[in-house]
């Protein structure tokens, strides 16, 4: 038995959340989770769904039907992740599939404290670029970005994450230029790295990360 997660749709401020309500002996789920990975590889999903001011955590079988459908997401990178948009409309699961409830405010607080992990993806991409380019100022920039992420508390993490993503974007651009015209060949290391840097500008983002990135990139927030 393999399980995946669909957790962010309950807390996103810019989209209709997944919701849950009781109906008789069932839980009824409605809404969409736009980024669910591993479809076709997992048997269960742990779905976070809004119930008033609480977030309920519910186990859902990954079986498509009239009330549960998926739309494959074609991505610029990590296509092997088998990412889909999960859509539920009046989808019923037994009430004993409810694993627990947590106040929404607590879920968001824990989310803010856990933003460091995804920052490592940007650091790894920059490290690849520095190895391929050779010695450059990017080496010191990478060390500084890592130190800032490691030292940041919940309040500073969004800006530190934005800094790491912006650095990955810049490092990928440097690798493209250093590679030359061969970088535009589909499948080249530089081309793939540029696509992955684009992906990391928005992957695992939050409103505060987005605002900081827009400022860093010279665009209005």
Identify the domain boundary among 103, 135, 162: 103
Alpha-carbon separation of residue 196 from 2, 51, 125, 172, 203 (angstroms): 27, 35, 8, 9, 10
Give the pTM: 0.88
Instruction: Decide: residue 162, CB within 10 A, 0-12 exposed, 13-18 middle, 19+ buried.
Output: buried
pLDDT (0 to 100) of residue 115:
86
- Which residues span the domain enclosing 61? 3-103
Residue-level pLDDT at 15: 60
**Residues 127, 38 share a domain:** no
Instruction: Answer yes or no: do 89 and 16 share one domain.
Output: yes
Same domain, 175 and 118: yes
Residues 126 and 55 in one domain: no
Output the tens digit of pLDDT for each of the chain's 221 residues.
Answer: 899 999 887 777 656 689 999 999 999 999 999 899 999 999 999 999 999 889 999 999 999 999 999 999 999 999 999 999 999 999 999 999 999 999 998 988 888 777 889 999 999 999 999 999 999 999 999 999 999 999 999 899 999 999 999 999 999 999 999 999 999 999 999 999 999 999 999 998 888 999 999 999 988 76
């Amino acid at each position: 038995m393999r399980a995946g997660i669909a957790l962010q749709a309950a807390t996103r401020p810019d989209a209709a959340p997944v919701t849950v309500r009781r109906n008789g002996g069932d839980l009824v789920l409605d809404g969409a989770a736009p980024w669910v990975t591993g479809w076709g590889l997992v048997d269960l999903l742990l779905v976070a769904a809004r119930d008033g001011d609480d977030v309920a955590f519910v186990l859902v079988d990954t079986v498509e039907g009239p009330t549960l459908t998926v739309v494959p997401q074609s991505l610029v990178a990590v296509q092997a992740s088998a990412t889909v948009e999960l859509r539920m409309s009046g989808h019923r699961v037994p009430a004993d599939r409810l694993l627990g409830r947590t106040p929404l405010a607590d879920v968001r607080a824990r989310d803010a404290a856990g933003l460091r992990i995804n920052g490592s993806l940007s650091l790894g991409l920059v490290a690849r670029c520095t190895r391929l380019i050779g010695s450059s100022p990017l080496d010191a920039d990478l060390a500084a970005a890592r130190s800032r992420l490691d030292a940041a508390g919940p309040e500073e993490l969004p800006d530190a994450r934005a800094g790491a993503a912006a650095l990955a974007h810049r490092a990928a651009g440097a690798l493209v230029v250093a590679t030359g015209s061969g970088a535009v060949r589909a499948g080249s290391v530089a081309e793939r790295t540029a696509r992955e840097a684009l992906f990391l500008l928005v992957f695992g983002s939050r409103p505060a990360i987005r605002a900081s990135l827009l400022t860093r990139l010279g665009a209005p927030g």
